[in-house]
Amino acid sequence: MIYDLCDLNVIKKLFNKYGFKFNKSLGQNFIINREICPSMAKECLIYGENIGVIEIGPGIGTLTQQLGLKFKKVICIEKDKRLFPILKDVLADFKNVKILEDDALKIDFKKLVQEEFKNFDKVIVCSNLPYYITSPFIMKILETDCNIKGMVLMIQKEAADRICALPGSKDCSAISIAVRYYSSAEILFGVNSESFIPAPKVSSSVIRISTNGAYRSDINDKSKFFKVVKASFEKRRKKIVNSLSMSLGLSKNYLEEVFDKVGISKLSRAEEIKFEDFINLSNIIEF
Ligand code: SAH
C-alpha cells in the first residue's frame, strides 16, 4: 500500500495515531506539494538507475517513497526517533528501504557506503535537508573520500544562490569556491514555502552537486588554498587586500606585490575574483 503523504488528512491521521508533533529545532518542514518529490527523484536518474541512494531526514517518508519506487536500495538517516513508528508503517511495503537512527553530521559516510553499497558502482544523496545543517553537511560529503558521486538537495533559496554562484559573481562566497573545488553545482528549480507543512519563512531551491572525483592538481597546497579563500571573504565589504591583510596578518605592501604578480586589481573585492586567480594567489602567497 502507498500512503498519499501529500494529503493533509492522511498526515493528520498519522500524527494523531503516533502522537507526533513538529520539532522546530530539527528543521522539520514536510513536503506537501505532490510535484516535488517525483521531480527530485527524477533528477537523480541522471546518475543511472542502478545506483544506491542515501536520504537525510526522511520525515514521514514522502520523498523516501519516490526514491524507493525508482532505485534499488535507499538508506535513510533520521535523527528524530519519534518518526520511526510512522516510517515503519508508511514504508512497510518498501523492502529496499532501510532507516537508520543517526545524525547526518556525525555519521561515518565512508563506512556507511562500504557497508551498505558494496555492489553499487555509484551512490548519491537525495534529501530535503534540515536547513540548519546545509553548509557543514555539503562540505562533509565533499571532503569525505567515498563513492558519493552526486547530490540532489532541497535547501534554502539564499543558500542555493550562494553555493551555486560562479566565482566572480555577486553571490559568490567562500562556500561557492569550496564547492567548486570538488564539484559542479547548479540550481534545478525553485520551491515556494506553501509546499511545506508547516510553511517555513523562506523560499527554497532544489540543487544538484556532481562531484568530480579528481581534485584540482593545479593547487599546490589545498589547506593554504582554503585558508586564502576563507580569509578573502571574511571581511566581505572590504577590498580583498584589506581583508587578507587583517585576516592573515600580512602587510598591505606585501599583498600588493603578490596581487601585481598574479595580475589581480588591488581594488577588487573577494566576490570579483575568478577561481583561477584564487589558485594563482594561493600558490604564490606566503604566510
Ligand atoms: N524529507 C521529509 C522531511 C524533511 S524535514 C520531507 O521532505 O517531507 C528535515 C528532516 O531531517 C526531519 O525529518 C528531521 O527530523 C531530520 N533531521 C534534522 N536534523 C537531522 C540530522 N542532523 N541528521 C539527520 N536527520 C535530521
Model pLDDT for residues 245-271, shown as the tens digit of each residue: 999 999 999 999 999 999 999 999 999
State whether the beta carbon of 56 lies less than 6 angstroms from ligand 1: yes
State whether the beta carbon of 166 lies less than 6 angstroms from ligand 1: no
pLDDT string in tens for the chain (287-residue length): 899 999 999 999 999 999 999 999 999 999 999 999 999 999 999 999 899 999 999 999 999 999 999 999 999 999 999 999 999 999 999 999 999 999 999 999 999 999 999 999 899 999 999 999 999 999 999 988 888 999 999 999 999 999 999 988 999 999 999 999 999 999 999 999 999 999 999 999 999 999 976 567 889 999 999 999 999 999 878 999 999 999 999 999 999 999 999 999 999 999 999 999 999 999 999 99
Q: For residue 266, what is its C-alpha cell? A: 588591488
Instruction: Supply the pLDDT for residue 23.
Output: 97
Q: Given the CA of residue 107, which atom of ligand 1 is nearest to it? A: 23
State whether the beta carbon of 197 lies less than 6 angstroms from ligand 1: no
State whether the beta carbon of 158 lies less than 6 angstroms from ligand 1: no
Instruction: Supply the pLDDT for residue 145.
Output: 85
Instruction: Supply the pLDDT for residue 99.
Output: 98
Instruction: Supply the pLDDT for residue 31.
Output: 98
The pTM for the full model equals 0.94
Cell numbers 589558485 label which residue? 279
Residue 227 has a CB neighbour count (10 Å cut-off) of 16
Ligand 1 pocket mutation, candidates 5, 8, 35, 56, criterion most atoms within 8 A of CB: 56
Instruction: Supply the pLDDT for residue 217.
Output: 80
Cell numbers 565533499 label which residue? 142
Instruction: Supply the pLDDT for residue 235.
Output: 84
Q: What phi-psi label fits residue 71: left (phi over 0), alpha (psi between -120 and 50 degrees) or beta?
A: beta
Instruction: Supply the pLDDT for residue 213.
Output: 61
State whether the beta carbon of 196 lies less than 6 angstroms from ligand 1: no
Q: Given the CA of residue 77, which atom of ligand 1 is nearest to it? A: 24
How far CA 137 is from CA of 124, 268, 272, in Å, comes to 14, 31, 26
Q: Given the CA of residue 127, which atom of ligand 1 is nearest to it? A: 1
Going by alpha carbons, the residue nearest to atom 11 of ligand 1 is 57
State whether the beta carbon of 150 lies less than 6 angstroms from ligand 1: no
State whether the beta carbon of 272 lies less than 6 angstroms from ligand 1: no
State whether the beta carbon of 3 lies less than 6 angstroms from ligand 1: no
Instruction: Supply the pLDDT for residue 40.
Output: 98
CA 145 to centroid of ligand 1, rounded, Å:
24
Taking only the tens place, the pLDDT of each residue in 185-238 is 999 999 999 999 999 999 999 999 999 765 678 899 999 999 999 999 998 789
Going by alpha carbons, the residue nearest to atom 1 of ligand 1 is 58
Neighbouring residues of 182: CB distance < 8 A, sequence distance ≥ 6: 142, 143, 211, 212, 215
CB contact at 8 A, 128 and 26: no
Instruction: Supply the pLDDT for residue 214.
Output: 58
Going by alpha carbons, the residue nearest to atom 6 of ligand 1 is 30
CA 62 to centroid of ligand 1, rounded, Å:
11
